[in-house]
Amino acid sequence: MKPIEIKNLEALFLEAEKLRNSGNFLNAIQVFKNILKVKPDSIPILNGLANCYFQLNKLDIAEDYYLQCLKNDTSNVQILNNLALLYLRNKNYEKAKQILQKSLLINIDQENIVEKIGFCLIQTKLYSEASEFCEKFLKKYPENKFLLSYYEKSLFKTGKNIDGLKLLQKQTGFIQFDDDKVKII
């Protein structure tokens, strides 16, 4: 490919990104597709298309493009996270959890991904697994409100009510026991 053509592709890519960032997804898709004719395996182009379709709520098409990206780069954290968000939007928590766990294995320092995995575990009613997961990551992110709430819920759902109440007390203040009723003060 001649340098001029590369320059034109770069200009087209910048134009497509500008269109996408301004919310003009349909025109961005057209520009991305024109670039794709020349660079069919380009991850930034495939990801750009996927993002546009995601924004247009055409999730099946977006998923196809994200999966094409992953064929070319199986450990791309950004693509994994984008695909997981798509599954979360579709309420496919099991698939989202699997993708998020893969992303977390690649880069352990993703607090937002840890939160999303905790959410998926609660949504799929894997309370014992959620309890262990949250307990582990609360050591790293002790103030994370989402993890604390998932951990609390998982403790109560697994019958560890005393531990759940202790956690609740730690977060909210004192707990008063009066006969069979619990009152948070």
Residue range 103-149, pLDDT digits in tens: 999 999 999 999 999 999 999 999 999 999 999 999 999 999 999 99
Asked, for residue 67, whether it belongs to a domain, the answer is yes
Asked, for residue 184, whether it belongs to a domain, the answer is no
The residue from 73, 106, 128 where one domain ends is 73
At residue 166 the predicted structure's pLDDT band, cuts being 50, 70 and 90, is confident
Asked, for residue 183, whether it belongs to a domain, the answer is no
Asked, for residue 82, whether it belongs to a domain, the answer is yes
- Count of structural domains within the chain: 2
Give residue 124's domain range: 75-177
Q: In CATH, what number is assigned to the domain containing residue 23?
A: 1.25.40.10
The residue from 42, 73, 104 where one domain ends is 73
Alpha-carbon distance 90 to 101, whole Å? Answer: 18
The residue from 21, 52, 73 where one domain ends is 73
Question: Are residues 117 and 29 located together in one domain of the fold?
Answer: no
At residue 185 the predicted structure's pLDDT band, cuts being 50, 70 and 90, is very low
Question: Are residues 41 and 79 located together in one domain of the fold?
Answer: no
**Both tokens assigned to 23:** 């919310």
At residue 165 the predicted structure's pLDDT band, cuts being 50, 70 and 90, is confident
Asked, for residue 139, whether it belongs to a domain, the answer is yes
Question: Are residues 80 and 156 located together in one domain of the fold?
Answer: yes
Asked, for residue 182, whether it belongs to a domain, the answer is no
Q: What is the pLDDT of residue 159?
A: 86
At residue 5 the predicted structure's pLDDT band, cuts being 50, 70 and 90, is low
Q: How many CB atoms are closer than 10 A to CB 5?
A: 10
- 0.85 cut: is pTM over it? no
* pLDDT tens-digit map of 87-113: 999 999 999 999 999 999 999 999 999
Check pLDDT > 90 for residue 6: no
The residue whose two tokens read 């609360």 is: 138
DSSP, residue by residue, 106-136: H-S--HHHHHHHHHHHHHTT-HHHHHHHHHH
Alpha-carbon distance 108 to 97, whole Å? Answer: 15
Question: Are residues 50 and 134 located together in one domain of the fold?
Answer: no
Question: Are residues 102 and 170 located together in one domain of the fold?
Answer: yes
* pLDDT tens-digit map of 21-75: 999 999 999 999 999 999 999 999 999 999 999 999 999 999 999 999 999 999 9
Question: Are residues 149 and 84 located together in one domain of the fold?
Answer: yes
Q: What is the pLDDT of residue 92?
A: 98
Question: Are residues 91 and 36 located together in one domain of the fold?
Answer: no
At residue 3 the predicted structure's pLDDT band, cuts being 50, 70 and 90, is very low
Asked, for residue 55, whether it belongs to a domain, the answer is yes
Asked, for residue 85, whether it belongs to a domain, the answer is yes
